[in-house]
Chain A
């Protein structure tokens, strides 16, 4: 069966520090991969998605970047965190090639920038 792992579960980082969140998927190959952010009390904002190794699409300009160094690994990064980067970050995957099937989500990372 397919599983998705996301870590860490919680993170407190000072302003200006770097960030690296990792997500890995098991039990499937060539998945579509996604990073979403959920600000407190708000909906989900799609940040990045990837349809293959090294292929990253950015949805909104921001202080974050994403990379896909391996087929089932998706990394969210920042060189210098801002207070506004605080939120709940969710990784998800779906069966390619399209998204008319459901997406499967990780447990999320709660990031607090102080």
Chain B
């Protein structure tokens, strides 16, 4: 079946450090891929997305590239801020399904 695997957290970084959160997927067909962010006590917000291979999604300094050959969609940011502390979810959606499948989430803590 379709699934998403994320790296275990928490990830703790100092401010201005480089961030990578790994995400790989398993899917039959050609999914769309998403990164969502959840700030403490809130719902999820879409951070970025990519709908086909080699697409790069970007938003607020975050980037992720849809890599079909490695079935990956790793999230990166060149310089994190304390305000980036949140839980990040990788997800996939299939055109043949009504369901959005989420990874287990990765908690990021950025220290001043």
Task: Return the chain A residue nearest B97 by Cβ.
Answer: A99
Task: Return the chain A residue nearest B101 by Cβ.
Answer: A46
Q: How large is the interface on B (under 10, 10 to 19, 20 to 34, 35 or more residues)?
A: 20 to 34
Decide: B43 and A108 in contact? CB cutoff 8 A: yes
Report the bound CA distance from A98 to B101 in whole Å.
13
Decide: B44 and A90 in contact? CB cutoff 8 A: yes
Decide: A100 and B104 in contact? CB cutoff 8 A: no
List B contacts of A94 (CB < 8 A).
Answer: 100
State whether the Cβ of A83 lies closer than 8 Å to any Cβ in chain B.
no
Decide: B99 and A102 in contact? CB cutoff 8 A: no
List A contacts of B93 (CB < 8 A).
Answer: 98-103
Interface residues of A (CB under 8 A from B): 6, 32, 34, 36, 42-44, 46, 49, 51, 57, 59, 90, 92, 94, 98-108, 110
Interface residues of B (CB under 8 A from A): 31-32, 34, 36, 41-46, 49, 51, 89, 93-105
19 examples of A-B residue contacts, CB within 8 angstroms: A6-B43, A32-B98, A36-B102, A42-B104, A43-B102, A43-B105, A44-B105, A57-B98, A90-B43, A92-B43, A98-B93, A98-B94, A98-B96, A98-B98, A100-B94, A101-B32, A102-B34, A103-B46, A108-B43
